[in-house]
Structure 1
Amino acid sequence: MTGKTVSLPRAAALVGPFSSGKTSLLEALLFRAEAIPRQGRIKDSNTVGDSSAEARARMMSVEPNLVGVDYLGEKWTFIDCPGSVEFQQDAYNALMAVDAAIVVCEPDPARAVMVAPLLKFLDDRKIPHLLFINKIDTAGTRLRETLEALQAVSERPLVLREVPIRDGEQITGFVDLVSERAYQYRPGQASDLIKIPDSIKDDEQVARQEMLEHLADFDDHLMEELLEDIAPPKDELYDDLAKDLADDLIVPVFFGSAEHDGGVTRLWKALRHDVPAPTATAARLGFANGGAPVARIFKTVHAAHTGKLSWARVLRGEFADAQTLGDGKVSGLYVPAIATPSKVPKASLGEVVAFGRLDHAATGDVLGGDGQIASDWPKPLDSLFALALEAEKKGDDVKLSGALTKLAEEDPSYRLEQNAEFGETVLWGQGEIHLLVALERLKSRFGLGVVTHKPTVPHKETIRKSVPVHGRHKKQSGGHGQFGDVHIEIRPQPRGAGFVFEDKIVGGAVPRQYIPAVEDGIVDFLRQGALGFPVVDIAVTLTDGSYHSVDSSDMAFKTAARIAMAEGMPQCDPVLLEPILAVEISVPADFTSKAQRIITGRRGQILGFDGKEGWNGWDQVSAYLPQAEMGDLIVELRSLTMGVGTFGWRFDHLQEVSGRAAEKVVETRKEALAKKG
């Protein structure tokens, strides 16, 4: 059986689309292991997972739920991952630490596409995974059609491990395709062993043959047995299934009803016998046996009573409380439990453990291992949705910045941006709910109320024509006065050329020591031009001026330059520029036309589309899109693509905008500046 040491602790992640029933499956697994006295339900808000206020309010997972459990003498850790794509970073990070993933989905062919990004992530990293088709007790279950639809989005062959026994439309049990034994479900109890019904024998034989052929693709000996009509021993099949799963060559498929305890014991059996040991996981991740202890951090949490916790998987050796790691010292070791984490003195190979108060440790870091670096760690997801925010109470700005930094540590797909140009703190994330949860955590965990608004679009302004202008600053107030006098010419530059300052002074009309001050005054003005936005792509030439031997100074010439710019810029035919982004939208090919309509409906320009590299059946649509139209793009895109559409973006160029659209932007900007005083 692949040589794994059963006594070593193992870990599995429950992943899958939103509403597929992962938390219910976790509850059923715990109940079947007798770790909880009764099976809770999401609607009753009494499950072990999703216990946070944010999760309860939305009846959905918004962070990973870690639970440790013993089953038949073996130690397991389950990580129930959020299904919403907005919290997918946590799921991806957890998958980098486990021995296998249980991909939970519904028996609906139309929803199979929702699993595609997850299966792609697993296959790209060769993470062993099996499928659990949940909710088979719902009306109109189409198991075979669902399997075909799922195969269309999976790079690996899906291998059915059992076939259903039906009573009319109801699935009442299953036949195991290796042992060829039939079982009838008994909710809350072990299934009954029954005789294989005659009505299903033909289907069972067809499905079993398909399973054998899939396994024979990776086992020459089994292929010879099949060609010679020799019945392969069951132990050989079990070994092949475990080995092929560990190597991510196949995806075993099971089904059941988590809420009604159907198929859960069968799933437990598969986990126990087929999921590889942590030694195999460590090797897959590039950590060889032997050497210094190694653990990889997959989740950071700032807890109220324990401070910073770095949840990690021990992949080699043993760690102890109070141990020095790098620049820090471990202050507490904790393992997952049913309610709250339990403190332990040490953690060994295979265990999932939280290291307390390692201030410099971050998600993705490797602890120990003589400084080994995990180069394969998934990069943070692209920022897709943003809110500008400020503290409700004056004086809480520093506290807010610290709290946001902690939230971004916990979930690296949050990104904090300080926009000095417009004086805004901007929080980026994966969608509207993702950011709303962050705001709720700011309130509940850090006592911070915030005011939010849409981030200011970084418009710029430039000019269309040249103007010569005179600026003079003269002030007498007793003693030394102030005197600066400049003649400048303001000219437009080609798009993207930036700002150029030239000095054509002759005869010392403006002394050399004051010329840098003239440039400083011009640059200072360009931060906020005639329309209220930063000015770009202009050239300014200092052509003449005059000075006073006593009253002239750097400040006087800087002020004179600002006066000249303020007088001249409105005469230069100022024009508003809006940022245009290069956007790459990724969708299944069935949704390509919808993605194109979204672009054209937002003043975008489609550049073309092609198959997405490495993604079978997906397209990538390239376009230019005004940044002003990007605010809720991800919300619309997901609503039209069953949640799987996404995009990447980068700034490309500035483009003139005129008419009522420009007037509205300028009016809004002037109102905002007036409020700031």
Structure 2
Amino acid sequence: MGDKTQTHPGAAGRAVAADHPASLRNVVLVGHSGSGKTTLVEALALTAGAVNRAGRVEDGGTVSDHDEIEHRQQRSVQLSLVPLEWDGIKVNVLDTPGYADFVGELRAGLRAADAALFVVSASDGVDGSTRMVWEECAAVGMPRAIVVTHLEAARADFEEMTRVCAETFGGDDPDAVLPLYLPLHGPQGPDGHAPVTGLVGLLSQKLFDYSSGERKESEPGPEQLPDITQARNRLIEGIIAESEDETLMDRYLGGEQVEVKTLVEDLERAVARGTFFPVLAAAPAAGGARQGIGTVELLELITRGFPTPFEHPTPGVTTIDGAPREIKPCDVDGPLVAEVVKTSSDPYVGRISLVRVFSGVLRPDQTVHVSGHGMTDRGHEDHDVDERVGALSMPFGKQQRPVPQAVAGDLVCVAKLTRAETGDTLSAKDDPLVMEPWRMPDPLLPLAIQAHSKADEDKLSQGLSRLVAEDPTMRLEQNQDTHQVVLWCLGEAHADVALERLRTRYGVQVDVVPHRVSLRETFAHRSAGRGRHVKQSGGHGQYAICEIEVEPLPGGSGIEFVDKVVGGAVPRQFIPSVEKGVRAQAAKGVASGHPLIDVRVTLLDGKAHSVDSSDAAFQTAGALALREAAADARIHLLEPVAEVSVLVGDDYVGAVMSDLSGRRGRVLGTEQTAGGRTVIRAEVPEIEIGRYAVDLRSLSHGTARFDRRYVRHEPMPAQVAERVREQARDS
């Protein structure tokens, strides 16, 4: 921030610990897949001395070692923590996946961090999902900064990208998004591209040259001063506009020279408040260089400009009975309140929980209360249990370095919390508390699975329970209508990772089968049926005859049973038996094996035998009567219909509405929202939107999102119903 030259002594080979919240910074990296987040983390680790020049920690492995799934997929699929130290400050860097399917990991990172560093590629620009995350951060006032990567690309233009960021992120105040440094370019190559070799500090008016592999400071030449002065003046005006000293702007415009120290202090306060968003540039170290371009500057911004955990309000906390409980921000002496932000499994250590401590101190071998509430709809039952904390550690690549404790504001890995799931609260066993869960995206892509073999079937239930414990963005459904096990995921990549984790971590091989929606049947018109169940085979026989009439009812009526028997043709004690048989048959279906709904069944007449009639006989007769009535009637196949709300950029409204119409959807209306977006509401048959999560992302280039809710069942068009019946017969 102050453009000072620094050679850090290094922290390779030792864990980074903090014993006071003031010496902590928690920052999450946000950006689309391929923007260079992980490369940037490794460059920061190299500059801070957490790794050597080969990018490896002292006892092997890299600081950003990934699991086998990430190596195979060639992308990050989970949140990772990299602790660094700079100027006596511990920096917890949270690297998040950039791919939309793993937005749950991103939201966990946002929950655990106090500030966000948005990583933007100079060659790819800003995508729609990054814009949406920026808006989420703005809504809660999270401090943010922007770092532009891929400056080595042939068409990279830092100035143009800064302008795009100001337009995209600045909103009504583009002057709140300004660069602190400008790239320093070397001589042009044969292709006309001038590589970035360093940075120009606008406040200090110094050059920082990295071309030798080390950061060297020098004075700018006369030919560079005009461009520096112009950019510097704009930066100064932007900083002063955010200053708490209301007289500073008048003094500056009156010709007074503002001290750099004052500007830096105002800048740091504005960044920490989340009202000014500096833009920096970064490039990885080349050759034998120890420091990547811009890494020193980034570490200075994080340690001096980003807020301490004291400035992060504690999320809502209640007792387990729901009574509100006020918890001071980052109170080391307060009650223990911590949250599991990520859960993973290690083949040697077992379950490892990444925990953010919001209040109090967490220590090894401490007995804590584990609370999980409010996520029953995702397959996470409410639970309250006491567990003993295992070892506390900090990750360094694949290594875990033990730490003696974790104070409020810190992040730590906790071993052997066998019942804790992502999103759970840890608190004192004699003062159990629950934190308000963070907002999770709704998984809308169904993945129907079945065990590959009998051995897999025995392990499937436990494997699935562990899988959803790690990932609260996944929902597990045991569909009672279709008898399918369904994993609801965020997208195809999310589904692939789930299947791979089941296979590699939990030793469960599954097969993916076509997902079926819950269809229903109903009568199209009035029909009558006679059920006759008469058998004589020695001893007591079976005798029951009943006559019924079936008529359709409005949607949502269910099954209505009416008794209109006169004269005791069916004895009173057997009328409930007829109803029981009718309802049992309705649950099985009468035409294609789907439950029958929305009909009135009227019992009109029947016959009984004084000896051979029984409850079982009249149940059978009732079922036979319903089947006969169905044989003489036209049966409608009913399909579930969902109301879908799509939030999409105005540029894609026409394409989305056309696509919904092609899915037999009925558009109910549209509504303009802020940011040049529109909400489209439509009713669409659920059978048509099984892959809508994937298709909508492709259609809108990742800028749209949707939600859905069941509305009703309604008759399926005849040609579609026949196709469904044919598929059922073939399966």
TM over 0.5: yes
Aligned 8 A contact 2:123 2:153 in 1: no
Alignment equivalent of 2:36, drawn from 21, 25, 48: 21
C-alpha change, 1:638 and 1:212, in structure 2 (3 Å) is same
**1:60 match:** 75
Q: Deviation of residue 6 (structure 1)? A: 8.3
**1:162 match:** 181
Q: Deviation of residue 198 (structure 1)? A: 4.0
Asked if residue 337 in structure 1 is aligned to residue 380 in structure 2, the reply is no
C-alpha change, 1:173 and 1:578, in structure 2 (3 Å) is same
- State the one-letter code of the partner of 1:250: F
Structure 2 CA distance for aligned equivalents of residues 465 and 283 of structure 1:
60
Alignment equivalent of 1:287, drawn from 303, 317, 328: 328
**1:637 match:** 696
Aligned 8 A contact 2:475 2:488 in 1: yes
C-alpha change, 1:467 and 1:195, in structure 2 (3 Å) is same
Structure 2 CA distance for aligned equivalents of residues 284 and 317 of structure 1:
15
**2:234 match:** 210
Alignment equivalent of 2:307, drawn from 262, 276, 288: 276
Question: How do 1:252-271 and structure 2 match up within 5 A?
Answer: 252-258=278-284, 260=286, 261-271=292-302
Asked if residue 530 in structure 1 is aligned to residue 591 in structure 2, the reply is yes
**1:35 match:** 50
Greater Cα offset, 520-529 or 482-491: 520-529
Structure 1 CA distance for aligned equivalents of residues 634 and 285 of structure 2:
68
- State the one-letter code of the partner of 1:407: L
**2:248 match:** 222
Alignment equivalent of 1:328, drawn from 357, 379, 387: 387
Structure 2 CA distance for aligned equivalents of residues 259 and 414 of structure 1:
38
Asked if residue 139 in structure 1 is aligned to residue 154 in structure 2, the reply is yes
**1:550 match:** 611
Alignment equivalent of 2:108, drawn from 80, 93, 96: 93
Alignment equivalent of 2:645, drawn from 570, 584, 593: 584
Unpaired stretches in structure 1, ≥5 consecutive residues? 673-677
**2:14 match:** none
Structure 2 CA distance for aligned equivalents of residues 514 and 396 of structure 1:
46
Aligned 8 A contact 2:365 2:388 in 1: yes
**2:714 match:** 655
SS at match of 2:566: coil
SS at match of 1:422: coil
Asked if residue 107 in structure 1 is aligned to residue 166 in structure 2, the reply is no
Aligned 8 A contact 2:207 2:218 in 1: yes
**2:15 match:** none
SS at match of 2:664: coil
Q: Deviation of residue 92 (structure 1)? A: 0.7
**1:675 match:** none
- State the one-letter code of the partner of 2:241: D
Structure 1 CA distance for aligned equivalents of residues 285 and 724 of structure 2:
53
Structure 1 CA distance for aligned equivalents of residues 464 and 222 of structure 2:
62
Structure 2 CA distance for aligned equivalents of residues 547 and 132 of structure 1:
85
Structure 1 residues 329-374: Cα deviation after superposition (integer angstroms, max 9, x where no partner): 2122222223322233322233311223334433333322744443
Question: How do 1:99-498 and structure 2 match up within 5 A?
Answer: 99-108=114-123, 111-154=126-169, 155=171, 157-167=176-186, 168=188, 169-170=193-194, 171-186=196-211, 189-219=213-243, 220-258=246-284, 260=286, 261-281=292-312, 287-288=328-329, 289=331, 290-326=333-369, 327-368=386-427, 370-375=431-436, 377-394=437-454, 396-397=456-457, 399-498=459-558
Greater Cα offset, 170-179 or 449-458: 170-179
In the comparison of the two structures, how many residue pairs are matched? 662
C-alpha change, 1:258 and 1:523, in structure 2 (3 Å) is farther
Greater Cα offset, 342-351 or 585-594: 342-351
Q: Deviation of residue 19 (structure 1)? A: 0.8
Q: Deviation of residue 49 (structure 1)? A: 2.5
Asked if residue 617 in structure 1 is aligned to residue 676 in structure 2, the reply is yes
- State the one-letter code of the partner of 2:140: R
Using the aligned pairs only, state the percent identity.
Answer: 32
TM-score by length of structure 1 reads 0.92
C-alpha change, 1:342 and 1:482, in structure 2 (3 Å) is farther
**1:563 match:** 624
Q: Deviation of residue 72 (structure 1)? A: 4.1
Aligned 8 A contact 1:531 1:574 in 2: no
Greater Cα offset, 308-317 or 163-172: 163-172
Aligned 8 A contact 1:25 1:259 in 2: no
- State the one-letter code of the partner of 1:196: P
Q: Deviation of residue 50 (structure 1)? A: 5.2
C-alpha change, 1:401 and 1:644, in structure 2 (3 Å) is farther
Structure 2 CA distance for aligned equivalents of residues 358 and 471 of structure 1:
60
Q: Deviation of residue 494 (structure 1)? A: 1.6
- State the one-letter code of the partner of 2:214: A
SS at match of 2:116: strand
Aligned 8 A contact 1:99 1:128 in 2: yes
SS at match of 2:660: helix
Q: Deviation of residue 591 (structure 1)? A: 2.2
Q: Deviation of residue 324 (structure 1)? A: 1.3
SS at match of 1:446: coil
Structure 2 CA distance for aligned equivalents of residues 206 and 347 of structure 1:
46
SS at match of 1:496: coil
Unpaired stretches in structure 2, ≥5 consecutive residues? 2-18, 287-291, 317-326, 370-385
C-alpha change, 1:284 and 1:184, in structure 2 (3 Å) is farther
Structure 1 CA distance for aligned equivalents of residues 54 and 278 of structure 2:
26
Q: Deviation of residue 454 (structure 1)? A: 2.5
Q: Deviation of residue 380 (structure 1)? A: 2.0
Structure 1 CA distance for aligned equivalents of residues 55 and 668 of structure 2:
51
Structure 2 CA distance for aligned equivalents of residues 112 and 194 of structure 1:
37
SS at match of 2:343: strand
- State the one-letter code of the partner of 1:218: E
Greater Cα offset, 137-146 or 497-506: 137-146
Aligned 8 A contact 1:109 1:149 in 2: no
Structure 2 CA distance for aligned equivalents of residues 616 and 192 of structure 1:
43
SS at match of 1:265: helix
Structure 1 residues 171-207: Cα deviation after superposition (integer angstroms, max 9, x where no partner): 33222222221222337x3322233244443332332
- State the one-letter code of the partner of 2:37: K
Q: Deviation of residue 322 (structure 1)? A: 1.3
Structure 2 CA distance for aligned equivalents of residues 213 and 552 of structure 1:
96
Greater Cα offset, 292-301 or 480-489: 292-301
Q: Deviation of residue 7 (structure 1)? A: 6.2
C-alpha change, 1:296 and 1:222, in structure 2 (3 Å) is farther
Aligned 8 A contact 1:87 1:430 in 2: yes
Structure 1 residues 37-96: Cα deviation after superposition (integer angstroms, max 9, x where no partner): 23559xxxx854252111001110011122223334432222211111100111111211
Task: Give RMSD over aligned pairs.
Answer: 2.4
Structure 2 CA distance for aligned equivalents of residues 235 and 104 of structure 1:
28
SS at match of 1:190: coil
Structure 1 residues 565-597: Cα deviation after superposition (integer angstroms, max 9, x where no partner): 111113221112222211111222222222223
Q: Deviation of residue 491 (structure 1)? A: 0.5
Structure 2 CA distance for aligned equivalents of residues 453 and 594 of structure 1:
30
Structure 1 CA distance for aligned equivalents of residues 26 and 549 of structure 2:
70
Structure 2 CA distance for aligned equivalents of residues 368 and 529 of structure 1:
54
SS at match of 2:210: strand
